[in-house]
Structure 1
Amino acid sequence: MPPLPHSKAWYAHLATELGGYHHPWRRVLDGPDPEQTFDLLLEQVLRPDARVLEAGCGHGPDAVRFGQTVQQWIAYDQVPELLEMARRNAPHAVFEEWNGKDALPAALQDPFDVIVSRRGPTSIILRLPELAAPDAQFVYVGPRLTVPQVAERLTAVQWRIVAEWRISVQAYAPTWEDWRVRGAWMDEPVSRADWEAGVTPQGMPYREERYVVLARATSSATTLPELS
């Protein structure tokens, strides 16, 4: 029996079968990838003197892309197979095995200027008071237009959302297998009957969605970046 979606064993399976933390279905988009909004925001927020913590780093693509543009990039994940890949992909960064809930590893105990979560665990929000330097920023992107626990947890730690974006792009899953795999990933029920009733020449239509958030501690001053 295959491991349950989003279990630790399932993420390890992604590492060995797909070569990293990738969406395991093909998709066709009618517009720009909605996650580009997060990329643009991150480019604006990061500074050369910043210490950055990444939650749920997977195989390290953000450490590869952004890690050498800042003073230090430290990341964590709970899946050893993904961390092994991340260390090979981004030797300039520091990677720790952590579940976001236990005691902080030593490498995570100095304050960070930016805390990043790309479709990663929202549990990191509850640890922001321990992790954040004064005027630190939290940057998050989630896989749906609304991720309720983000706002709830930011309120619980007295951080506030200073900017948010909701982006939706028409997308298609080109085959039944792609649609089935997406359903398992998103924890959405799918059936062959629904597929046959709704499929188009391009595949099964759906909306590729992202929810992007920039947050700061309640006492922090606010200067919004311009996305360009």
Structure 2
Amino acid sequence: MNHSRESYDRLARELGGYRHPWARVLSGPDPELTFDLWLSRLLTPQTRVLEAGCGHGPDAARFGPQAARWAAYDFSPELLKLARANAPHADVYEWNGKGELPAGLGAPFGLIVSRRGPTSVILRLPELAAPDAHFLYVGPRLNVPEVPERLAAVGWDIVAEDHVSVLAHAPTWEDWQMRGEFMGKLARRADWDAEATVRGMPYREERHLVLARQLGVARKLGA
């Protein structure tokens, strides 16, 4: 996928948010359920949360009421319009994670989250995080090496990590084409004809989950 502002604005207009445009059938639990579980365990009525790359605001809408404050940012104006409508209780800012912090953002935060959001937020943790804060991330590949590298660069420890892979199928050729376009990979009809089953084209839904804290204050999840 072209990760330009225009591409994300187009997703907002055509799909009503940051959504995968293809149908998929999973053969096991959605790997992002682990992220949901970890996030739920970290939230308290006193938690101040910052979400990087909030998209159309599904996490702000679902989890925001459980927190003392839910602030979020994204760089797509069209997605932000949807986020403000979907999560009116959240404080939503237009920002790309670079340059000066948005006015009124209100750091520090006790929890910074990024669901397929930008890893650049990790480099801003010294400015954004409270002394005992957590950082929670899930990425769209089995391994996102820049996450541990950047956490080490800012002096944070990984206290929990998971690599999840679930068999999935794109049920039609059109779905497989859309997935290829979204992932920036060419979908070839010859591959579909040779490898697709009655359930569609098999592939793996993969996620890399990371929970981190600053060095010296790391605790295990649930402690």
Provide TM-score, normalisation by structure 2: 0.97
Is 2:136 the partner of 1:139? yes
Q: CA deviation at 1:191?
A: 1.2
Q: For structure 2, which runs of at least 5 residues remain unmatched after alignment? A: none
Preserved CA contact (<8 Å) 1:6 1:185: no
Q: Cα deviations across residues 44-101 of structure 1 (Å, max 9, x unaligned)?
A: 0111101100000000000100111110000000000000111111111100000001
Task: Provide the C-alpha distance between the structure 1 equivalents of 2:215 and 2:185, rounded to a whole number of angstroms.
Answer: 35
Give the root-mean-square deviation of aligned CA atoms: 1.2
**Identical aligned residues as a percent:** 65
- Quick one: which of 184, 196, 199 aligns to 2:196? 199
Preserved CA contact (<8 Å) 1:79 1:97: yes
Is 2:158 the partner of 1:161? yes
Partner of 1:178: 175
SS at match of 1:39: helix
Preserved CA contact (<8 Å) 2:157 2:218: no
Q: CA deviation at 1:195?
A: 1.3
SS at match of 2:174: helix
Task: Provide the C-alpha distance between the structure 2 equivalents of 1:124 and 1:166, rounded to a whole number of angstroms.
Answer: 21
Task: Provide the C-alpha distance between the structure 1 equivalents of 2:62 and 2:147, rounded to a whole number of angstroms.
Answer: 25
Is 2:40 the partner of 1:43? yes
Task: Provide the C-alpha distance between the structure 1 equivalents of 2:27 and 2:55, rounded to a whole number of angstroms.
Answer: 27
Task: Provide the C-alpha distance between the structure 1 equivalents of 2:180 and 2:215, rounded to a whole number of angstroms.
Answer: 37
- Quick one: which of 29, 34, 44 aligns to 1:32? 29
Task: Provide the C-alpha distance between the structure 2 equivalents of 1:12 and 1:208, rounded to a whole number of angstroms.
Answer: 25
SS at match of 1:188: coil
Partner of 1:16: 13
SS at match of 1:206: strand
Preserved CA contact (<8 Å) 2:159 2:218: no
SS at match of 1:6: coil
Q: What pairs up with 1:39-188 in 2 under 5 angstroms?
A: 39-188=36-185
Task: Provide the C-alpha distance between the structure 1 equivalents of 2:149 and 2:9, rounded to a whole number of angstroms.
Answer: 30
Preserved CA contact (<8 Å) 2:108 2:130: yes
Provide TM-score, normalisation by structure 1: 0.95
Task: Provide the C-alpha distance between the structure 1 equivalents of 2:46 and 2:115, rounded to a whole number of angstroms.
Answer: 21
SS at match of 1:24: coil
Runs of 4+ in structure 1 deviating by more than 4 angstroms, as ranges, are none
Q: CA deviation at 1:189?
A: 3.3
AA aligned to 2:52 is A
Q: For structure 1, which runs of at least 5 residues remain unmatched after alignment? A: none
Number of equivalenced pairs? 223
Q: Which moved more, 1:175-184 or 1:80-89?
A: 175-184
Task: Provide the C-alpha distance between the structure 1 equivalents of 2:10 and 2:218, rounded to a whole number of angstroms.
Answer: 43
Task: Provide the C-alpha distance between the structure 2 equivalents of 1:130 and 1:95, rounded to a whole number of angstroms.
Answer: 18
Q: CA deviation at 1:109?
A: 4.2
AA aligned to 1:56 is G
